[in-house]
Amino acid sequence: MSEPENEYLYNLLPAIYRICDADQGEPLRALLGVVEEEFLAIEQDIAGLYEDLFIETCDEWVIPYIGDLLNVHGVYPISARAGSLRSYVANTIAYRRRKGTAAVLEQVARDITGWPAHAVEFFQLLGTTQHLNHLRMDNVRTPDLRDTNSLQLLGGPFETAAHTAEIRSPRTARGKYNIPNIGIFLWRLQSYPVDHTTAREVLEGYTFDPTGKEIPLFNQPGTEETITHLAEEINVPAPLRRLPLYNELEARRTALISSKTPKSIYFGKHPVLSLSLIHESQTQPDVILPEEIQICDLTDWGSPLSSPGHIRAAVDPVLGKLVLSDSISPKPLEVLVSYSYGFSQDVGAGPYTRTDFTHQVLNGQVDWQVGVSKEKKAVGTEHIYSSLASAVEEWNKWNKQPEGTGIVGVIAIMDSRTYQDELTGDEYSIKIPDGSQLLIVAADWPVIEDPFVSQRRVGQFAATGLRPHLLGDIHINGTAGVDDPNPGELVLDGILIEGKISVVEGNLGGLQVAHCTLTPENDGIEVLSSGGPGKSNDALELTIRQTICGGIVLSETVPGLDLIDSIIGMDGSTAIDAKGTTVSIEQCTILGRSYMRKLEASNSIFKSDVEVEQRQAGCMRFCFVPYDSSTPRRFQCQPDLALSKQAVKEEVSSVEDLPENINNAVLDRMQPVFTSLIYGNPAYLQLSPACRVEIFTGAEDNSEMGVFSTLQQPQREKNLLAALEEYLRFGLEAGIFYVT
């Protein structure tokens, strides 16, 4: 008689009762199995009640109640994706013991907003006449022009130069240097670390970004160990500067020559950047040590680096470039880099955690599984290929067998390298038969912790810390029959794709593109249809989630398109061409022109004109859309609301009666303003502080419209202002300054 795990109640019975029960078909075992489910639920609930007594372990819904016991009031609730108030409530007593100090103001700002923060007492930066009994030698009226590092920090959160007094209020983010003024500097961009990714060869050098973009490298923030510690440059996710890295590496080389232990800040246990080379004749990467790296300005790079023998590479962290020394011969097959880049949120391909989504898609079922890696080798019965094309070819072969239809398959890309694979043509295009589902995901396999089993666990994935790069186009072919009620589905998750995705003529049931980036300049998604039987993709449901994508072109046979938390298109081009499709858009930023049959949209920004054919159905809620667009009915949208308020102010009966000059002035004023429209910029499509408050707080929950709505930045700012009122000393005034 087999005994499944967790049969606690049944195993408590005497053996004689279990033997008799087995003779009668185990009805008692089945009954106790049902009872045990309820028993475990009650036990789990009791354990949860105990954990809810403590702020460290309680559920999110309990946090406001514990905060109420501590008299923590005046904060707006924020979503789980935007952050948590757990640390703010947990540290309340510590705050109150140190109320009024700069360290507490800084920690309050960090805990309540979730953004790294730095507090500055501006009176310490005033140029004053000093008393001879209290000299501050570092506070001089005239900056030292030989101190290049201090000059670079002027106007920023870590400056040390003295200033004359200002009378403007810091609440306007303009006034700084005055006796009662406190500055709270915040870094809104996050730092995303990428390990052992392939550098892109460009001209005579390489870019850290695998797509060839010049991007600034970011610092991976170090942890502050005490609440009384004021943040330093190493503790915040700021773009790296050349000078501190240069000085540290120069000091490191000097220390090594004198046989001393070098002081490590940026190049310690977890260096901010690292390089290694892949040579044809070597089995292990050739690691370039930090002391073999020269930090310099590579704005006008040309020929390979000519340098002393101990310098093997030159790196520009501001532009994200590197050049190898001409002493490295032969030329390496591949240059691997580890670094961090900046972005606003978990959108697009990135090393953030996607495990929950992966398990939700698979729903516990995996029938076929292979890996793709240039670093890991197969263990036991595993199949790990060195190219994505080989894995797709194996999937296509498996589908030709009778047992290969109607299965759930997974191709796991297990590193962050570049794969130059054209998944096109009859041999390498991805074929999805009827009833089958294929997931291509950036994920590793957890290894079974068992000395007697030498393989990784099938169906278990750790989708985090990886961002593989696919250089090539993808063709997808649904091979289900004409009348097949269950055509197959393909899911792409966590991949940086420098190429175009094309669904060729066929019968594909579903395509999900989640947490991916299709470089917007040239790449996008296209669905083709020949109109013939089984070739029209008329059952296809296309879902794009947390993705950056170029233009989307769908044949008129495609019934549905869902866009969630995504960035679509390029400014001045066509973003969505889906004249026969019903489209649903939630919390997206659409840059180009859009054409569709029906539309349901919420909390989104449409920067260019929208044309909807069937306008009697559907709705647009809490969106920005150009006023002259042909859309279904609009509710709480801009600039419609602004024009309506202006009509009331001008005492005219309708918006159409507004004078042309006033109408144009409102339309010009009520436009979304972005920090950057250039893909690759860390602040890509982040709303600028110059953007109108009606757009910055125009979403349904009073957060900003567009793809970054879930960040709830207005709520975070209001929470911080409310908290500062409690912890500021009497007579002081604080202002919020966004560094990124």
- Helices and strands in the chain: count of H runs, count of E runs: 16, 38
Chain centroid, CA 408 distance in Å: 27
Task: Decide which of 378 and 285 is more confident.
Answer: 285
Provide the 8-state DSSP code for 123: G
Q: What's the CA gap between 705 and 686, in Å, rounded?
A: 11
Output the pLDDT for position 619. 93
Closest CA to 307 of 299, 317, 295, 319: 295
In this prediction, residue 4 carries a pLDDT of 46
Residues contacting 198, CB < 8 A, separation 6+: 210, 334, 335, 336, 337, 416, 417, 418, 469
Type of residue numbered 116: P
In the structure encoding, which two tokens stand for residue 635, read together? 């509710």
pLDDT of res. 305: 67
pLDDT value at position 658?
75
pLDDT score of 545 = 95
Among the residue ranges 209-223, 345-359, 397-411, the one predicted with the least confidence is: 397-411
DSSP 687: B
DSSP 257: H
CA distance 327 to 313: 10
> Cα 135 from chain centroid?
47
pTM given for the model: 0.88
Cβ atoms of 462 and 352 closer than 8 Å: no
For tokens 């730092």, the residue is 191
What is the distance between the alpha carbons of residues 215 and 739, in angstroms, rounded to a whole number? Answer: 17
Q: DSSP class of residue 325?
A: B
Q: What does the pLDDT look like over 17-67, one tens digit per residue?
A: 888 888 888 888 888 888 888 888 888 888 878 888 888 888 888 888 887
| Residue-wise pLDDT tens digits, 515-530 | 999 998 877 899 888 7
Lowest-pLDDT choice from 2-16, 165-179, 330-344 = 2-16
Q: What's the CA gap between 449 and 456, in Å, rounded?
A: 9
Place of tokens 């030498």: 454
Confidence grade of residue 405 (pLDDT, cut at 50, 70, 90): low
pLDDT for 721 equals 87
| Three-point CA angle 106, 111, 112, nearest 5° | 100
Q: What pLDDT, in 10s, does the model give residues 700-730?
A: 988 999 999 999 998 888 888 888 888 888 8
Residue 335 confidence class, pLDDT cut points 50, 70, 90: very high
* Structure confidence at residue 447 (pLDDT): 61
State residue 734's pLDDT score.
85
Q: What does DSSP assign to residue 475?
A: E
pLDDT at 152: 85
* Least confident window among 235-249, 363-377, 553-567: 363-377
> DSSP for 579-612?
EEEEEEEES-EE-SEEEEEEEEEES-EE-S-EEE
Give the mean model confidence (pLDDT) for residues 531-549: 87
| Residue 406 identity | G
The pLDDT of residue 523: 78
State what percent of residues in the chain have pLDDT above 70: 94
Helix (H, G, I), strand (E, B) or coil at 627: coil
In the block, residue with structure tokens 């460009």: 202
Which two tokens mark 284? 């292990």
Residue 243, CA distances (Å) to 240, 338, 422, 485 in order:
9, 20, 42, 63
CA separation for the pair 590, 572 (Å, rounded): 11
Using CA atoms, how far apart are residues 241 and 289, in angstroms rounded to an integer?
20
List, for residues 243-281, the tens digit of each pLDDT value: 999 999 998 888 888 877 778 889 988 899 999 998 887
Question: Between vectors from CA 291 to CA 290 and to CA 296, what angle results, nearest 5°?
Answer: 85
- Could you tell me which residues are beta bridge partners of residue 334? 278
Structure tokens, 657: 């009666």
For the cut 70, the answer to whether the pLDDT of residue 80 exceeds it is no
Please say whether the beta carbons of 637 and 620 come within 8 A. Answer: yes
- Say what the pLDDT of residue 419 is: 94
409/402 Cα distance (integer angstroms): 15
- Whole-angstrom distance, CA of residue 677 vs CA of residue 691: 14
How many CA atoms within 13 Å lie on the side-chain side of 179? 3
For residues 356 and 346, the answer to whether their CB atoms sit within 8 Å is no
Phi, psi angle pair for 718, to nearest 5°? -65, -40
**pLDDT at position 732, please?**
85
Please tell me the predicted confidence (pLDDT) of residue 302.
64
Give residue-wise pLDDT tens across range 631-690.
999 999 989 888 888 877 877 777 776 778 888 888 888 899 999 999 999 999 999 988
The sign one gets for the Cα dihedral 153, 730, 98, 134 is positive
What gap in Å lies between CA 21 and CA 17, rounded to an integer?
6
CA 496 vs. chain centroid, Å, equals 12
Question: Residues 83, 188: contact at Cβ < 8 Å?
Answer: no
Residue whose tokens read 């007594």: 53
Structure tokens at 384: 């790990």
pLDDT band at residue 425, thresholds of 50, 70 and 90? Answer: confident
Quick: pLDDT tens for 549-583.
999 999 998 999 999 999 999 888 899 999 999 99
pLDDT, mean over the chain: 86
Specify which residues 321 forms β-bridges with. 207, 316
Span 428-471, pLDDT tens digits? 899 999 888 999 999 988 665 555 555 555 557 888 999 999 99
Q: Quote the pLDDT of residue 217.
A: 95
Query: Is the pLDDT at 308 greater than 90, yes or no?
Result: no
Q: Are 84 and 58 in contact (CB under 8 A)?
A: no
Distance CA 652, CA 648 (A): 6
Closest CA to 458 of 386, 396, 367: 367
CA nearest to 442, candidates 418, 464, 423, 460: 464
Cβ contact 718:600 at 8 Å: no
